[in-house]
Amino acid sequence: MKKIINDPNNVVNDMINGMIAAYPHDLRQIPNTAVIVRSDAPVVNKVALISGGGSGHEPAHAGYIGRGMLDAAVTGEVFTSPTPDQIFEAIKAVNSGNGVFLIIKNYTGDVLNFEMAAELAEAEDIKVEKVIVNDDVAVEDSSYTIGRRGIAGTVFVHKIAGAKAEKGASLEEVKSVAEKVVKNVRSMGMALSPCTVPAAGKPSFKLAEDEMEIGIGIHGEAGIERKSITSADKIAGELTDRILGDININEEDEVAVMINGLGSTPEMELYIINNKVNEILTEKGIRIYKTYVGEFMTALEMTGCSVSILKLDDELKQLLDAPSEAVAFRS
């Protein structure tokens, strides 16, 4: 295992310290926790947004903290859900009396622990609502989930729900728009190589030199097919076709596209994937309103990518365009 770390068992704490050192005017850590919050939290007269999950997916989730997106992120150990008590600390830290909204990716540990934290909060008269993101079209159930997994499409939920909250919307209105995003976003990924959890010290799965995994999850969970590596155009076509086969997007509809790197994929290759995705959508008469290319939800040093497509309406377009001061998503 080759990694630029200190103690494999202390990587999350070292990462948090480094992030706070990089953005001292934007972020602060709740003492003795793995909770990072906006420096001005709690923000008066605003619904607070919290997301989180296991670390190893950076810039998700703490990179999306800031005006216009999240108020807090709860960071678990690598690929491990944060505990209910940590999530509860985040809820208390950002609650200003207008309620707290939880954005949860559909992994069993995340769902259970966030829901337990919500119950703790409600016992103290803190109003909490949630959305569960399940944008991955690859598999219905996996080793980590009941139902579809939540992957990079979650970033669209952060952005749009965060913009809605920043405009002064109620907790119910924030939940409604978040549910609209979940209903209208689909994603699918693939990988060329595995990743290594620092504490484990060995790759989470194996692929031969000429193999790729189609439909893989962000923790290295199995996809739908392992086969020989093919061209970028064929990969982009397979991912895009699977997404479009799962959602009703018609000619003249507008979409946002996200081409997401999983940690070790050069931007050159991501843009090549985007070129084909753009071509496919354009040929179908689907209008691309906005495209994002880069690393938004990674899997340590896994080589691969995912494609996310969000069907837009006027409200979603306006909120997607709203300013963001999140440290990894400034607009």
Catalytically active residues are: 57, 219
First to last CA, the chain: 37
The CA distances from residue 145 to 26, 68, 149, in Å, are 33, 29, 6
- Tokens 């990089």 correspond to 22
CA distance 124 to 77: 27
